[in-house]
Structure 1
Amino acid sequence: MFRIDAGNTSWLKQVIAEHGWPGVALVGERGAEEAWLLAQHADLAPAFQRQALELLKAAVTAGDASPRHLAYLTDRVLAAAANSRCRERSTPTTETARTCACSPLPTLTGSMSAAPRWVWSQRRSTTSACAVTDPSGQPQGTRS
């Protein structure tokens, strides 16, 4: 799967370099959906995902891309950034359970009043998961 995602990411980088964001005007509804999916799954290239997010924002503003795609890619980029901060801050030094609470993510504008906060847990079994909490700290779900 990683090899496929890496190949797709490479291809999308080339398309963007040559044509800009593949919005509806350039590739149609289906092509725009597929371009977004490739960017959404480019987890091995976080810098590229952030670049794609900026291009997608501009396309949405111009009416050339779906706001839904922007919402999903924004969530993916923010979640990856939060998970990265947690991994950098929490290197387990004992066999006991350890929890790292990341700092809250930036507040988003629009219909969302605040971005979720991610909490990373390292358990003795080496299972890790991110628990999503709302701004007041109430659990909203988990992500492995």
Structure 2
Amino acid sequence: MPTAADPSLSHPQPDPPAVAGVARSDVRILLAADRPAARCFATKLLRDSGYRVEVAVDGFDVLGMLAEVKPDLLLLDGRMPRLDGFQVCALVKRHPGFAAMPVLILSDGGSLFARVRARLAGAWSCLPKPFTAEELLQAVSSALVHG
């Protein structure tokens, strides 16, 4: 059992890589949310955690950016104008080049309906809003490792 004099207690240990054998700085996340505050919070949190983040304001932007960004993960707000996260996920999952990419949908309240809708669209998971920084980082890490 570690004691107060144990050096492991005074020096934080580095986080493990998000994907086995891949540094977080090599992981590209394409984030889409229509609310500026949500985009800013998630982008800052993910970048501060070492991820490379590209930002889109809606589903159409995501579709336009996919080929260029080549993300390892899509992080989509379930509620966006024009194309919401569920619709974008369903479209992306139909494309052979992106079908295996994990998609994490952020949904208001995280109702059973939203979780089922996310699964039917092909999402790896549905994270209910509001969420904590820790919950978002854990969901992203899990989606990258297991998705």
TM-score (ref. length: structure 1):
0.31
Structure that is richer in helix per residue: 1
Higher relative contact order (CA 8 A, sep 6+): 2
TM-score (ref. length: structure 2):
0.31
